[in-house]
Structure 1
Amino acid sequence: MGRRPLALSAVSLPQRVYRLASRALATPLLGWLWWRGRREPGYRQNLRQRLGHIPIHPEQFGCIWVHAASVGEVQAVQPLLHALLQDWPAHALVVSTQTPTGAQALRAHWGERIRHVYAPIDTPGAVARFLDRLQPRLLILVERELWPEWLQQCRARALPVALVNARLAERSARGYQRWAALMRPVWPQLTVAAADAASAERLRALGVPAAQLHTTGNLKFDVAVPREGSALPPALQARTLVVAGSTHAGDESAWLSVWPALSAAHPDWLLVLVPRHPQRFDEAADNLRRSGLQSVRQSEGQPVLPQTQVLLVDAMGELMHWYRHAALCFVGGTLAPVGGHNPLEPLSLGQPVLFGPHTRNAAALFDDIEQSGAGERVQDAAALATAVQAWLRQGDAGQARADAARALMARHQGAAARTLALLQPLWWPAHTGNIGRVQRWQGDAGQSAWYDPARLPEVSARTFDPAAQRGGTALATGSGRGQALRIGDGAQGQVLRHYRRGGLVARLSDDLFWRAPAHRSRAMQEFSLLRLMRSWQLPVPEPVAASHRPVGALFYRADIVVGLIPDSSNVVQWLQRRPLEPAEWQALGRAIRQLHDRQVFHADLNAHNLLLDAQGQAWVVDFDKCDVRPREGWKQANLDRLQRSLRKEAGRVSPYHWRETDWDTLLAGYRATPARPPPGT
């Protein structure tokens, strides 16, 4: 069920109850997805990903994970993805969805440029596996996708979470209030970019700290519109197109009840129905046949004849095309009690909109559209018929509404830039130059390796074999367990370290570890953590290569190659030669503080793992069994361990130029005000 799924002591009682309930509901949920796949095969595809079994791509470790549940969220986040790509390479962005239609919308816009995965169901095991296999540095949720287990495990990993384009209706806020005990820990960990002031106020009332709550505007205003669209076929160019987009059954029944009379009075008018969900295409076609209207179904290739009254568009990704050529646009999900879909798609084309009374999904936006004159709300089918006739007969009024639509869009644009500015501190100072593509090598007997081709053009089994490294120099980094070998030449040299056991276990086997998949092995875990820390510009060595070698059915061995830090010695070696200057002790304290500000826990912080180079720059090495973890209490324990190590060496080596007052100097460097507050903590 994933890493430590039963460690319930770290979570609240409501979260424990939720975990038990989520586990109990997991099998029925997977069964429902399978059943739904009868009509939408996409729901049956990649079911393993719903349990967190996503493919492992180490080049994407340290990525930004964006979750956009379905089509609407994918459309909303497009401007932000465009903005993110200015700072991040495409391989370092991963987008998850919950619906196949969301996945289709992502692929339609981005192709294979941005990786897609299906989001895990909200059970401890599924979420843990997903995070282990993706290892993101930041989670961006779109609109209102707040899953308690996701957020609990992100908090446990000190993973920042942002909620962008946040929209929260009054009814949804009341729902969260009913689950206050479960949701209470969620709100303080969020950085929120709200789409409107009303949503921001509701989130503040629920518990999002004011300092982390910002109103940045609706991202959908920034959706880029293709400058040119395909032309209509000749049979449609002479028709007046009335486009009802993203419709549900309630919307379609209203239109079909009024269209016979409208069509009889205006034979050149053509109703274009574009259902919201592909699984409803057949249902919509059946309803059209029963209505008695002359209709054609686009997928069947039938021509639109002069007597055709309705065109059913049963295809995904074509709505903007039809909105572009419409004489009148209607936004679905508003006569049906769904809450309303995206009105900004037609508005971005300069097309005013009609919509029904059910607009709770974006109430503030629809109110703004109505008040600005860029659209009109109708209460029922009769009002719809009246509005359609009025709109298609009033040329000057129609132009005024179109001008209002364009003005509304211009007034609200810029949300993507504001949201990006809000998010940037959550990954500062990471930059793309430190996020190269990792390559994988597969050897004999199951051995595998990850490596950075910029530092090591190729690897083989010999890369990790000390006997094959001619001229290698042993580097003592500890009292026996942490031996390493210097390989390569000059400043481009590298350090090969073989993982060894410590304590009593080493008497049985000094280098065998219990079997684990490669991505969970010690070498790959340290390799990934070093990549993350290097992107944060922390004083740690460059990760070069990591190896995982299965041994029988139960064990594995591991090795790692890191960049050599030229002209450096560890603190014990320096103290055997001379006392350290106050500036050097302070540099060591600052280096530790940099790690702690990024919540990096060093499992073996000691005098042998702290280095100083010839210029007095401090470095921290050997990150076996280390991780990024939340909270503050462990930081003092880290410092205490280092202090014990410095004192211990005084009884082991001589000469040893250590004074107790040196510790105070190191702490002075540690306690100095950091250059910038740590983000997302």
Structure 2
Amino acid sequence: MAGAGGRPGVAAAWPPRPDSVKERFARGVFSTVLRLASPAYVLRLLLRGRAEPLYQSHLAERFGFGPAIAPGSVWVHAVSLGETRAAAALIDRLRRDRPGLRLLLTHTTATGREAGLPLLRDGDAQRWLPFDTPGAVRRFLRRTRPSVGVLMETEIWPNVQRQALKAGVPMVLANARLSARSLRRGEKFQALLAPAARALRLALAQTAEDADRLRQAGVPDVRVCGNLKFDLQPDEALLARGRAWRAGLTRPVVMLAVSREGEEAAMLAAWQAAAAARAEAGSPLLLIVPRHPQRFDEIAALVTDAGLTLARRSAFGSHEHAVPPPSAGVADAWLGDSMREMALYYGLADVALLGGSFEKLGGQNLIEAAACGVPLFMGPHTFNFAEAAELSLAAGASRRAATIPTALSEALSLLTRPEERDAMAEAATTFASAHRGAAARMAAQILELARI
């Protein structure tokens, strides 16, 4: 584990140097633009709230208002669903290491806030992250007075960082990652982002490559801790339910996991073109699980427009003993239109294609599939999980394909070779378990900074 510049045990200079005139001017312009954009921001939330009502809730929190809470909480900001899931492992370890810890959990998206609810205990609080204007952030910090702030993965905001520094709240970027592309983009806004990076008290990076890029971006103290997503354990009840549903089917299941825009249409076209290969593989069921819930109806329409019969998970019932109706067993495709049930869907799947990796989106969480023992086919774009993807390939837990048709062809072929498929599944679980421990390392660093 290394400090700034990669030298073990060397603490970075603190506090950071004052901002230059150019940097103060850039932040001032940024803040003015955001203030002027506030009405448009509220309108956007109201419009999004038509599909996801949670966006219309607690609007005052977006501007730093809301009830005050007792000082001393550990503040964790998890912008959306993926970050909230990763934060769960860290929060669990923080509570284990510091019994009685009070949590302040913030989010930006509705899916993040919904996923965060099960992480709360008595005495905890949940809020929207305030709009990044100086006044909104000051009001938020006055009402919450956290002992330490933890931003998950990539979230660095100029005024959040500046106001936290002024308030004496040490800020940590946990499970931190920074791609080469993001670093290049950030250089265009260096006068705005460099002071925010310097204001971080500590960054806990996923990989050595991420750490090097974070130092280049200006973060003074960076330490490599690994990826929290390896510490996430699948929900055993959901996984068992998915496997029970799979056992009730007479055919294998091919899953498009956590899909993004454009990938579902490409998958459906490839599926129809692969009729002969599907027949040889046992006429598998197609399972599509989109990344964003607001697209569920859109994807359902795509499936039926493609001429496939569809069964939706939401029609099976929500209780723990829910089972697919007989009509679902003969459907061509299932739509995973529920939240917080990825372990169930991976339990159903014999093989999976990784969403977000066939478009230039960086890929979704491949570690979750591995932990559930599902052989995975990835597209060419996995820069959000670059090291994990390479480790997975090296372990034999996954394979890479250039396009969805190629990935589907290889997945269908794998279904005809059950021993090879089982070997990939075993390699996946071994790979997932071999890289755990990031949560303990990060929790220790964060609690050392907390004033509690």
Aligned alpha-carbon RMSD (Å): 2.3
The yes-or-no answer on 1:417 pairing with 2:428 is no
The Cα of 1:402 is off from its aligned counterpart by 2.2
Question: Please, which runs of 5 or more residues in structure 2 have no aligned partner?
Answer: 1-19, 317-324
- The secondary structure found in structure 1 opposite 2:256 is strand
The Cα of 1:263 is off from its aligned counterpart by 4.2
2:79 corresponds in structure 1 to 69
Corresponding residue to 1:19 among 28, 31, 42: 31
Contact 1:347-1:409 within 8 A present in 2 as well: yes
The Cα of 1:298 is off from its aligned counterpart by 2.5
Show the 5 A alignment for 1:387-536: 387-427=410-450, 430=452
1:381 corresponds in structure 2 to 404
2:213 corresponds in structure 1 to 202
Query: When the two structures are superposed, what TM-score results if normalisation uses the length of structure 2?
Result: 0.87
The Cα of 1:363 is off from its aligned counterpart by 2.0
Query: d(CA) in 2 for partners of 1:106 and 1:425?
Result: 24
The yes-or-no answer on 1:128 pairing with 2:134 is no
Corresponding residue to 2:334 among 292, 299, 311: 311
Show the 5 A alignment for 1:93-112: 93-110=103-120
Query: d(CA) in 2 for partners of 1:162 and 1:28?
Result: 30
Count of matched residue positions in the alignment of Structure 1 and Structure 2 = 418
The yes-or-no answer on 1:154 pairing with 2:198 is no
Corresponding residue to 1:34 among 24, 31, 46: 46
1:250 corresponds in structure 2 to 262
1:602 corresponds in structure 2 to none
Show the 5 A alignment for 1:150-299: 150-190=160-200, 191-209=202-220, 212-228=221-237, 229-230=240-241, 232-233=244-245, 236-260=248-272, 261=275, 262-266=277-281, 268-299=283-314
The Cα of 1:215 is off from its aligned counterpart by 0.6
Query: d(CA) in 2 for partners of 1:234 and 1:366?
Result: 27
Question: Please, which runs of 5 or more residues in structure 1 have no aligned partner?
Answer: 1-7, 431-681
Distance 1:234 1:203, change over 3 A: closer
- The secondary structure found in structure 2 opposite 1:73 is helix
Query: d(CA) in 2 for partners of 1:110 and 1:326?
Result: 31
The yes-or-no answer on 1:350 pairing with 2:350 is no
The Cα of 1:111 is off from its aligned counterpart by 7.0
Query: d(CA) in 1 for partners of 2:114 and 2:35?
Result: 29
Identity across matched positions, percent: 34
2:11 corresponds in structure 1 to none
**Superposed CA offset, 1:177-210 (max 9, x none):** 111111222223320100111111101112222x
Deviates more, 1:82-91 or 1:40-49: 82-91
**Superposed CA offset, 1:128-159 (max 9, x none):** 11111111110000001001000000111121
Corresponding residue to 2:350 among 327, 331, 334: 327
**Superposed CA offset, 1:340-375 (max 9, x none):** 111111111222211211212222221222232110
Query: d(CA) in 2 for partners of 1:405 and 1:376?
Result: 11
Show the 5 A alignment for 1:539-618: none
Contact 1:91-1:115 within 8 A present in 2 as well: no
AA in 2 matched with 1:148? P
The Cα of 1:247 is off from its aligned counterpart by 1.0
AA in 2 matched with 1:23? R
Query: d(CA) in 2 for partners of 1:151 and 1:109?
Result: 25
AA in 2 matched with 1:47? L
Query: When the two structures are superposed, what TM-score results if normalisation uses the length of structure 1?
Result: 0.59
**Superposed CA offset, 1:386-445 (max 9, x none):** 2112221222322332232223223211111111222232126x3xxxxxxxxxxxxxxx
Contact 2:74-2:101 within 8 A present in 1 as well: no
Contact 1:263-1:309 within 8 A present in 2 as well: no
The yes-or-no answer on 1:81 pairing with 2:91 is yes
AA in 2 matched with 1:414? G
AA in 1 matched with 2:370? L
**Superposed CA offset, 1:111-138 (max 9, x none):** 7774321110101111111111111110
Contact 1:235-1:305 within 8 A present in 2 as well: no
Contact 2:227-2:438 within 8 A present in 1 as well: yes
The Cα of 1:87 is off from its aligned counterpart by 3.7
- The secondary structure found in structure 1 opposite 2:262 is helix
Query: d(CA) in 2 for partners of 1:314 and 1:225?
Result: 19
Distance 1:224 1:42, change over 3 A: same
The Cα of 1:89 is off from its aligned counterpart by 4.9
Query: d(CA) in 1 for partners of 2:262 and 2:229?
Result: 25
- The secondary structure found in structure 1 opposite 2:352 is strand
Query: d(CA) in 2 for partners of 1:294 and 1:57?
Result: 51
Contact 1:62-1:135 within 8 A present in 2 as well: yes
AA in 1 matched with 2:349? A
Contact 1:324-1:346 within 8 A present in 2 as well: no
**Superposed CA offset, 1:68-112 (max 9, x none):** 000000011111100111244566111101111111111245577
- The secondary structure found in structure 2 opposite 1:116 is strand
Contact 2:63-2:130 within 8 A present in 1 as well: yes
AA in 2 matched with 1:340? G
1:542 corresponds in structure 2 to none
Bigger relative CO (Cα 8 Å, ≥ 6 apart): 2
